Structure formats: structure tokens, C-alpha cells
């Protein structure tokens, strides 16, 4: 591990704090404890916690946690609704403005790299739609499947592919459309945008030694299943939610849907969720390392709980400090 300095930045009154990191690393507990001590409010930056009904599988903050500290951009959409990164950015900026108006501190928490980039770097707003190319991609999807298209994107633009889940058909095909229409990787378009947010911010990325992170992931999956993840999916289906909805094509839910369809047994489902979650965490870390050189990385392996991690962040906010780079 390398050392990283906790560098001073512009500390104007309008400053937001970002608590990012891979799944199961302890972001939610840390953000809540931090918000309690800096007069903050939580803003979710998670692409699945925006949906009502996706509670257990997204590790959504409990009602008790949400009662401790105001939470924003959680449970704002029904499953049959869609939200783009651009729309998220617009809603997040309005939310931040509202929080600042009450002299509070926005504390963003989550791990959705696409949303983080949309908010901090802006989005590619050039018109790139081509009906014929879109039709060709759709035909390729039907003939060869999403894995083939994802591999094409990985070859053309690994930076973009690493932030999109393999089964996220909408984003994979959209990224390929941009690439084929413009002849340039979507990540290059994004990098050329200059839409800095109208506030100062500090980025903190939590991580743990791999063995510890994987232990937490495995424990999280076991707890989700104990808490009733399978029953949650069954209730969604019974309520008439279509299993092909994009919101359900996400980590945890897609494996349960396959289990309920009889594709494999419970034990295999459990292991598949764990394995896919570990892979997702690895992609998240790669994305954060590549995208945010200004971030402070905090190794939480030996820090007992969110209270302890929040204390490290507060120390860094107060003055320069040496933290662990993962």
C-alpha cells in the first residue's frame, strides 16, 4: 500500500462531501455518522436505491437510518420508470441547492460511478442518435447476446465498459451507438465536457484489504438472503412487476430471478451473487482509481465501524493528514 496526503482544497461555505467505495465496505454507516457530526444530510448516489421496492438487494438505508438523518434521492421512482445520468445530475443539483439553503452540508454516499461522473464532470450532451445504427445494434443483440456487445465495448472503450454492468443492456447499447456514430469512445466525449458543479467538494473513497472486503461482501449477501431477498423478489413479481424491467436486471435480483425460474438451486444462487458482487466491487475500484486522482483513499480494514471512519474523514477535513492509499 502507498501513502496519500490529505490535501487542502478550497474550503468555501458551499462544500459537499462524497463518501464512495465498493459495495459492502461500510459507506452508509460512515456517511450517517459523518452527517450527524457536521450538520449534514445524505444524498444517495446509487443507481438502484432510487427505485421503490428494491430495498434488501440494494442495501438501502433502513427506515430507522433514514429517520436519524434526512436522506434524498432514495425511493423516488417506480420500477417501470427510467432515470438517465443527466436527469440524476439535474435532480442532485437541485437537492444540493436546497440543502445549502438550509445551511446544511450535502453528504453524497454510494458507488455508482456513472452518477458520480455525471455530477462532477458533466455528461456528453451532443446528439448522437442514429436510427439505422441503433437498429443494427438491436439485431446484433438478438442474434448474439449482450455478452458479445459488451466485449465490443470493452475493446473500444474499456473506461466506459468498466463502469457498466455486463447485463445493463440499455447502457451497453447506448455506449456502442455513441462510439459507432462518432467514431470516438464515449469516455473521450465525457472527458471533453466541462460542467463542473457549482460547489466545492471533497472525495473520500473507502476500501479494505481484499480478503477483508470479500469477507464483508460474503457476509452482506448472507444477511440479505436471511433478511428475505428471495421473498422481496417474489413480492415484486406478485405485484405485477415484469421480470424484464431494467431495474430488476441488476446484481442480486437477476440471480434470484434465475433461481425462481428454476435455472439453478439456492446454494448456487447464493454463490453466484457472492461471486458477481466481488467482481462488481473490483470494477468499482478500478473505475475510482482511474477517474478520481484527487480523492483521498481510506483503508478501513482495521477501523471498527462507521464512527471510526467518520472520525478519520473529519480529521482530514480539518487539516492535512496522511491516509492510506489502497
Q: Are 202 and 9 in contact (CB under 8 A)?
A: yes
Looking at residue 2, what is its pLDDT? 39
Q: Are 46 and 104 in contact (CB under 8 A)?
A: no
Q: How far apart are CA 140 and CA 144, in angstroms?
A: 6
Helix 113-121 to helix 266-291 angle (10° resolution) is 20
Q: How far apart are CA 243 and CA 250, in angstroms?
A: 11
| pLDDT tens digits, 97-119 | 999 999 999 999 999 988 998 89
Q: How far apart are CA 19 and CA 41, in angstroms?
A: 12
Looking at residue 194, what is its pLDDT? 55
DSSP letters of 165-227? -TT-HHHHHHHHHHHHHHSS-HHHHHHH-----SSEEEEEEEE--HHHHHHHHHHHHHHHHHH
Cβ-based burial of 321 (10 A; exposed 0-12, middle 13-18, buried ≥19):
middle
Sheet with 71-72, edge to edge strand ranges: 71-72, 40-44, 105-110, 15-20, 200-207, 296-299
What are the cell numbers at 39?
A: 450538520
Q: How far apart are CA 207 and CA 251, in angstroms?
A: 20
Looking at residue 39, what is its pLDDT? 96
Residue count (the chain):
326
Give strand pairing partners of 15.
200
Q: How far apart are CA 223 and CA 71, in angstroms?
A: 23
What are the cell numbers at 165?
A: 454492468
For residue 48, give Cα distances in angstroms to 67, 74, 112, 195, 252: 20, 9, 9, 24, 11
Domains of the chain: 2-123+193-325 (3.40.50.300), 131-192 (1.10.20.140)
Q: Are 12 and 191 in contact (CB under 8 A)?
A: no
Looking at residue 42, what is its pLDDT? 98
| pLDDT tens digits, 291-318 | 899 999 999 999 989 999 999 999 999 8
Low-confidence stretches of the chain (pLDDT < 50) are 1-4, 8-12, 321-326
Looking at residue 79, what is its pLDDT? 94
The position carrying cell 487542502 is 8
Amino acid at each position: 500500500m502507498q501513502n496519500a496526503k490529505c490535501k487542502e482544497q478550497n474550503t468555501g461555505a458551499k462544500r459537499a462531501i462524497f463518501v464512495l467505495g465498493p459495495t459492502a465496505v461500510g459507506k452508509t454507516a460512515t456517511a450517517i455518522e459523518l452527517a450527524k457530526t457536521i450538520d449534514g444530510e445524505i444524498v444517495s448516489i446509487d443507481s438502484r436505491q432510487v427505485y421503490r421496492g428494491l430495498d434488501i438487494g440494494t442495501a438501502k438505508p433502513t427506515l430507522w437510518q433514514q429517520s436519524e438523518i434526512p436522506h434524498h434521492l432514495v425511493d423516488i421512482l417506480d420500477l417501470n420508470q427510467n432515470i438517465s445520468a443527466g436527469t440524476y445530475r439535474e435532480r442532485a443539483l437541485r437537492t444540493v441547492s436546497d440543502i445549502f439553503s438550509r445551511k446544511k452540508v450535502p453528504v453524497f454516499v454510494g458507488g455508482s460511478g456513472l452518477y458520480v461522473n455525471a455530477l462532477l464532470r458533466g455528461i456528453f450532451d451532443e446528439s448522437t442518435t442514429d436510427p439505422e445504427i441503433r437498429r443494427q445494434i438491436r439485431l446484433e443483440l438478438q442474434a448474439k447476446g449482450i455478452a458479445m456487445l459488451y466485449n465490443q465495448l470493452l475493446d473500444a472503450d474499456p473506461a466506459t465498459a468498466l463502469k457498466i454492468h455486463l447485463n445493463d443492456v440499455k447502457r451497453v447499447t447506448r455506449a456502442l451507438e455513441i462510439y459507432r456514430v462518432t467514431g470516438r469512445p464515449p469516455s473521450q466525449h465525457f472527458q471533453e465536457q466541462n460542467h463542473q458543479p457549482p460547489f466545492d467538494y471533497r472525495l473520500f473513497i473507502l476500501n479494505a484489504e481484499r480478503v477483508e472486503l470479500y469477507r464483508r461482501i460474503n457476509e452482506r449477501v448472507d444477511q440479505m438472503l436471511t433478511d428475505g431477498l428471495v421473498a422481496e423478489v417474489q413480492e415484486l413479481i406478485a405485484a405485477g412487476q415484469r421480470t424484464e424491467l431494467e431495474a430488476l436486471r441488476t446484481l442480486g435480483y437477476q440471480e434470484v430471478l434465475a433461481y425462481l425460474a428454476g435455472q439453478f438451486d439456492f446454494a448456487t444462487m447464493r454463490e453466484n451473487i457472492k461471486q458477481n458482487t466481488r467482481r462488481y466491487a473490483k470494477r468499482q475500484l478500478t473505475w475510482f482509481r482511474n477517474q478520481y486522482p484527487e480523492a483521498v483513499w481510506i483503508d478501513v480494514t482495521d477501523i471498527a465501524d462507521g464512527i471510526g471512519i467518520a472520525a478519520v474523514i473529519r480529521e482530514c477535513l480539518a487539516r492535512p493528514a496522511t491516509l492510506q492509499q489502497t
